[in-house]
Amino acid sequence: MPYAVGDVIAERTVHLTRESLVRYAGASGDFNPIHYRDDVAAAVGLPGVLAHGMLTMGIASSVVVAALEPTARVIDYGVRFTKPVVVNPENGADLHVLATVGAVDENATRIDLKVTFGETTVLVKAQLRVVA
């Protein structure tokens, strides 16, 4: 992987809908109603139905994985969740992922992710370590 610090590996915007959340709930087994019912989300003080954190995290990493060579391997991945992704019942939500090289050494390449919903950063310290 001949990358240099600052290189953009990938950039993509993924549109989420309420249907996306229901499909993810079925696949993951996470049927917490804050991910599909407005009344429950409001009752617990949330601004609306939220995308699953693990869905957000998975989307972010998938943007990088799709851009890597087929022989590359992700050896570490971590994030810190900072803000929720509120999925509007009519308009959905757009999650934007920008992946850039943050560090390169003889063992691995660190890829830093900037993950935003609107103007809000929803994941921080989002980093993957990748080997060729």
CA distances from 53 to 82, 84, 110, 123 (A): 10, 8, 22, 9
Distance CA 25, CA 21 (A): 6
**CATH number (domain holding residue 55):** 3.10.129.10
Would you state the structure tokens that stand for residue 46, as one six-digit string?
């949330």
Which element (helix H / strand E) includes 8? strand 8-16
> What confidence tens digit (pLDDT) does each residue in 44-77 have?
999 999 999 999 999 999 999 999 999 999 999 9
In this structure, is residue 3 part of a structural domain? no
In this structure, is residue 1 part of a structural domain? no
> What confidence tens digit (pLDDT) does each residue in 73-130 have?
999 999 999 999 999 999 999 999 999 999 999 999 999 999 999 999 999 999 999 9
CA distances from 117 to 78, 84, 129 (A): 19, 9, 24
In this structure, is residue 2 part of a structural domain? no
Expressed as residue numbers, the domain containing 91 is 8-131
- pTM of the entire predicted model: 0.93
Mean pLDDT across the stretch 20-35?
97
